[in-house]
Amino acid sequence: MRLCRNGDFIRTCSEIHSVRLLLVEDDAMIGAAARDGLRRIGHAVDWIRDGRAASTALATESVDLVVLDLGLPHKDGLQVLKEMRGAGNTTPVLILTARDAVTDKIAGLDAGADDYVIKPFDVAELAARIRAVLRRRAGRADSIVKHRDVELNLNTRQVLRAGREIALSPYEFSIVAALLERPGHILSRQQLEDRLYGWSSEVASNTLEVYIHGLRKKLGHEFIRTIRGVGYSAATA
């Protein structure tokens, strides 16, 4: 398994916007490598090590995608997946496992998995498959998002405003990408902070407001709407 050790790999890792991931993996070495590699890309990653805890988390928390091992203690990953889908949870799931038999792949996909990756794996490939799953779920064939006079490339992280490149920090980019998934839809402060930092991170009380202020200066004061007491949305009018 390769982590972000050289320049080429680091560039590959940067080609994706941040999302909130739940990693379910009981092997300490594999779990740490996957968590650290995905965090280097900019994802918020929460790591759980057994199937029972995964089911509890999925019943009470919201994530963008689950990276799920199958051979888990207390509850098998396939059972976790079946219970998710049975409860109507449509969160994308990417199975990450050493079970490489065709019958295992068929069972995982038929149970509702969106993709199936065999161990040992390369974090760059894992990131690319996460990117592809999220594009398919969002109904996009490519990685370009356009809204008003702003254009985001979710792969290269390039941002254009009226055709001119704008430099955004990783967190600023992640906020814009989240808001533009559904322009006009309101995301609460908690939802945005969870997307950026994960469940266990301590966040300063005004951090999000600082990023929003910076984005308005770069993308226009009317680009992001504040709905007082509720949250933020990308303006549609």
Say if residue 78 is in the same domain as residue 186: no
Say if residue 156 is in the same domain as residue 107: no
Say if residue 173 is in the same domain as residue 133: no
Phi-psi region of 86 (alpha: psi -120 to 50; beta: other; left: phi over 0): alpha
Q: Which of 24, 34, 199, 194 is nearest to 127 (CA)?
A: 34
Could you tell me the CATH number of the domain that includes residue 212? Answer: 1.10.10.10
Q: What is the mean pLDDT of residues 179-190?
A: 87
Cα gap 70→111, rounded to integer Å:
12
pLDDT in tens, 122-152: 888 898 889 888 877 766 556 788 889 999 8
pLDDT in tens, 19-60: 889 999 999 999 999 999 988 877 889 999 999 999 999 998
Say if residue 100 is in the same domain as residue 157: no
Q: What is the mean pLDDT of residues 12-18?
A: 43
233 — pLDDT class (breaks 50, 70, 90)? very high
Last residue of a domain, one of 80, 103, 137: 137
Selected residue with higher pLDDT from 219 and 201: 219
177: containing domain: 144-234
Q: Is 1 within the bounds of a domain?
A: no
* Domain total in the chain: 2
Q: Is 105 within the bounds of a domain?
A: yes
In DSSP terms, which residues pair with 135 in a beta bridge? none
Model pLDDT, residue 214: 92
Q: 82-111: string of b/e by CB count within 10 Å (b at 16+)?
A: ebbeeeeeebbbbbbbebeeeebbebbeeb
6 — pLDDT class (breaks 50, 70, 90)? very low
Say if residue 212 is in the same domain as residue 183: yes
What are the tokens at 29? 């070495």
Q: Is 2 within the bounds of a domain?
A: no
Cα gap 76→207, rounded to integer Å:
39
Q: Which of 143, 149, 147, 216 is nearest to 180 (CA)?
A: 147
Cα gap 44→38, rounded to integer Å:
8
Q: What is the mean pLDDT of residues 185-192?
A: 86
5 — pLDDT class (breaks 50, 70, 90)? very low
Could you tell me the CATH number of the domain that includes residue 106? Answer: 3.40.50.2300
Q: How many residues does the chain have?
A: 237
Cα gap 109→35, rounded to integer Å:
23
Q: Is 110 within the bounds of a domain?
A: yes
What's the pTM value of the predicted model, to 2 decimals? 0.61
Query: Which amino acid does the sequence have at 123?
Result: V
Task: Give the number of C-alpha atoms closer than 13 A to the C-alpha of residue 153, restricted to the C-beta side.
Answer: 12
